[in-house]
Amino acid sequence: MKSFSISPQSPASPEAFETLDALLDICFGPGRLTRTAERLREDNQRIADYDRMAFNDEGTLVGAISFWPVMIEETPGLLLGPLAVHPDMQGIGVGQALMQNALAEINAERFAFTVLVGDLPYYEKAGFAPAPKNVCLPGPVDPARLLLRPSSDAHAADCARLAGMVRRAPELC
């Protein structure tokens, strides 16, 4: 069985960023930078405290997750993504482990929710559900793929009432 380890870190060097970019290209292809979620990452700053990387036994990067500050109206939250797992390592729990490890560390007093664009059957395992109908992104997205997760039970009712455009919020860094 293939094994991996999770490291709570961000790419710290130009070489690490190149390795991460290569993984993202493998996982999402050359069109990844044209997706709507990418508009929320442009001119924004990742929250490095929640970045996670997964490495195989040889020390090769096989998975990564990052989070970006966003707002819906005046409510601060996070954009999850990209979550990438090398095709050779998919199906063994790398993505779920990265996600669960990072989501457990989110400061619920600072960020009320996490939002993403993805497949519900995969992400509902981590507590994501369809976003409220009046939440939208700055570009085309299948509404069934816009998912949201309150950061705590205390935020659940407020998150159910969210409405408006998700916008980048680098001021929250």
Both tokens assigned to 171:
């001021």
Second CATH level (architecture) for the domain 4-172: 3-Layer(aba) Sandwich (3.40)
Half-sphere exposure of 38 (CA within 13 A, CB side): 8
Is pLDDT above 70 for 33?
A: no
pLDDT at residue 7, rounded to an integer:
86
- pLDDT higher than threshold 90 for residue 2: no
How sure is the predictor about 1, in pLDDT bands with cuts at 50, 70 and 90?
low
Q: 144-159 pLDDT, tens per residue? A: 999 999 999 999 999 9
What pLDDT score was predicted for residue 29? 83
* Listed ranges 17-21, 35-39, 124-128; the one with the highest mean pLDDT: 124-128
Q: Give Cβ neighbours of residue 131 (< 8 Å, ≥ 6 apart).
A: 115, 143, 146, 147, 148, 162
Is the pLDDT reported for residue 88 higher than 90?
Answer: yes
Tally the C-alpha atoms within 13 A of residue 98's C-alpha that lie toward its C-beta.
29
DSSP character for 62?
A: E
- Percent of the chain surpassing pLDDT 90: 77
- Measuring CA to CA, which residue among 161, 168, 167, 169 is closest to residue 134? 161
